[in-house]
Amino acid sequence: MAFLRRTVGSGIRRYSQGAAKEWLTDDFLDSLRAVVGSAKVSAAAVVREQHGHDESMHRCCPPDAVVWPQTVEQVSLLASTCYSRGAPMIPFGTGTGLEGGVSAIQGGVCFNLTQMDRVLELNTEDFTVAVEPGVTRKALNHFLRGSGLWFPVDPGADASLCGMAATSASGTNAVRYGTMRQNVLNLQVVLPDGKVLHTGGQNRRPRKSAAGYNLTGLFVGSEGTLGFITQATVRLHGIPEATVAAVCGFPSVKAAVDSTVQILQAGIPIARIEFLDEVMMGACNRYSGLSYAEQPTLFLEFHGSTGGVREQVEATGEIVKSNDGSDFAWAQEQEARDQLWAARHNAWYAALALCPGRKAYSTDVCVPISRLPEVLVETKKDLLASKLTGPIVGHVGDGNFHCILMCDSEDDDEKGRVKEFAERLARRALAMDGTCTGEHGVGLGKRQLLREEVGDVALSTMQRIKAALDPKNLMNPGKVL
C-alpha cells in the first residue's frame, strides 16, 4: 500500500513522485478548517488510508485530507474552496462500494458525509422521507419502526442512502420494489463549484413529474462524479400484511434458474428470489451455521396479503416441483427470516472465509432473464477451466448475479486469471444483450467495459455532460469515464 503523501504535524511534505499539486498547501488546509473547525479536518496518514479504499480489491489511494462537514452549507463552502484552488473532491459514505469508487487516484479532499445523519422529513401519508447523507438504510428502517412503512432497497451492506443513490444500488428486493432509480424522488446536490442544486426543486415530492430534464435520474448512478448528494427524498413502502420466506434446492443450476424465469414469466410478484450455487451454499452453511443441502439453491420471499401470499406460494411451488426442486424449507417468523437473509447477506464474508488470507473480487453482470440459464451454465464451466474458486450468488429475478472470485493478491498468475475471467464474463453478458454491471457501478475497474457496452457516441455524450457540469474535472476524477 503506497502513500502519495504523508503529513508532519499540520504541514505537508511532498514526495517527489506524482503530479504536482499546487493547491496542496498549509494555507489550503487552513481554509478548510475555517469552514468546519480544526477537529473536522484530518491529514493524518491512518485517516487518509481509511478513506482511500472501499471493500473491493482496488488499490488504496488515500486522499490528501479528509473533512467531516456537518451541514449542506459547509459542504458548499468546502466545495467552493476546493473548486477555486483546483483540488479534487471525493464523496465518502460508508465505504462499502465494490468498484473502487472512493479511491483518490489523483489525491484531493475526501468529504466524509457520515456526520450529516438526520432524518429530515417523514411524510407517512405520502410514503416519502428526506434524509441526510449519513443515514444508512438500516438506520432509516430503525427510525421507521412502528410507522407501518419501510425502505426496501437492500444491497446487503448497511450503506448510506445517498451513497446508494450515487451508485444506483439495488440488491435482493429490487425484483419487486425496484432499484434506487425507481425509489429516489428528489436529491439535493452540491455541485463542484459549491452551488446547491435541487434536482426536482426544493422540497418537492410529487409521485411523478414532467417538468424539465430528469436531473434526479442523472445524478442517481453518477458515482460522485457530478456532485455531492447531500439529501435524498425517497419513496417508502407499506410493510406487507404477510411475509414468508423459503429455501429450495435443485438438482442443477439450470433447474434453479429455469424455475426463476418461469416464476417471473407467470407474473408472480415475488419480493426476493436469490440464487446460490452449491459452492456458495456450502460456504454459507459453514459461515452462518446452517445445514442446507449443498446444491444449487433459491432463497425466496413472498410479500402480500395473507391470501395473496398463499396464492403466490402455491403457484411458485408448482413451478419449482416441475423443475425437480426440493420441498420448501420455510422461514415464516421474523427471527427465522432474519437468520436466512443474514446468511444470504453474509455471502461475501462466507466466501472470504472459504479461503482465509485471500481477497475477493465480485463480478456483477446482468442479462435479460431468458439468457440467465445459458450465461450461468457457461460461467460455471469457465470457472472450472480457469481453476478459480468463485461461488455464485445473485439477484436472479433481475437477471443479475455475482461471482465472488477468490484471489491471492501475492499470486500474479492467479490475479491474471481472475482479471481475465471477470472480463470474459462481462463480455459474455454483453454478448447476451446485458450489462457489465447491474448494481456495483463502473468505478475504476469497468471503464473499458463501459465503452464496449454503450459505444463511442454514448460515452462521448456522457463525457460532454461531465464537462458541462464539472468543467475542471474535480469531482471524483478518473471514475466512470
Q: Tell me the C-alpha distance between 299 and 477, whole Å.
A: 39
Does 252 contact a second copy by CB under 8 A? no
In the bound state with a second copy, the residue whose beta carbon lies nearer, of 96 and 295, is 96
Interface of this chain with a second copy, residues 276 to 315, rule: CB under 8 A: 305, 307-308, 311
Q: Tell me the C-alpha distance between 194 and 79, whole Å.
A: 5
Does 167 contact a second copy by CB under 8 A? yes
Q: Tell me the C-alpha distance between 244 and 332, whole Å.
A: 5
Does 438 contact a second copy by CB under 8 A? yes
# of chain residues touching a second copy (CB under 8 A): 90
Q: Tell me the C-alpha distance between 299 and 396, whole Å.
A: 10
Q: Is 223:124 a contact under the CB 8 Å cutoff?
A: no
Q: Tell me the C-alpha distance between 14 and 5, whole Å.
A: 6
Does 427 contact a second copy by CB under 8 A? no
Q: Which of 25, 38, 71, 182 binds a second copy (CB under 8 A)?
A: 182
Site string for a second copy, 39-78 (x = CB under 8 A): ----------------------------------------
Q: Tell me the C-alpha distance between 124 and 145, whole Å.
A: 12
Q: How far is the CB of 6 from a second copy (least distance, A)?
A: 35
Of 59-67, 83-91, 195-203, 401-409, the window that binds a second copy (rule: CB under 8 A) is 195-203
Q: How far is the CB of 100 from a second copy (least distance, A)?
A: 14
Q: Helix H segments across 61-119?
A: 72-85
Interface of this chain with a second copy, residues 104 to 163, rule: CB under 8 A: 123, 125-128
Q: Which of 179, 230, 297, 389 binds a second copy (CB under 8 A)?
A: 179
Q: How far is the CB of 13 from a second copy (least distance, A)?
A: 38
Tell me the pairing of strands 359-362 and 297-304. unpaired
In the bound state with a second copy, the residue whose beta carbon lies nearer, of 96 and 170, is 170
Which H or E element spans position 402?
strand 400-407
In the bound state with a second copy, the residue whose beta carbon lies nearer, of 19 and 457, is 457
Of 12-20, 286-294, 327-335, 398-406, the window that binds a second copy (rule: CB under 8 A) is 398-406
What is the residue-wise DSSP string for 261-321?
A: HHHHHTT---SEEEEE-HHHHHHHHHHHT----SS-EEEEEEEE-HHHHHHHHHHHHHHHH
In the bound state with a second copy, the residue whose beta carbon lies nearer, of 336 and 462, is 462
Q: Is 481:459 a contact under the CB 8 Å cutoff?
A: yes
Q: Retrieve residue 250's grid coordinates.
A: 435443485
Does 238 contact a second copy by CB under 8 A? yes
In the bound state with a second copy, the residue whose beta carbon lies nearer, of 5 and 272, is 272
Q: How far is the CB of 413 from a second copy (least distance, A)?
A: 29
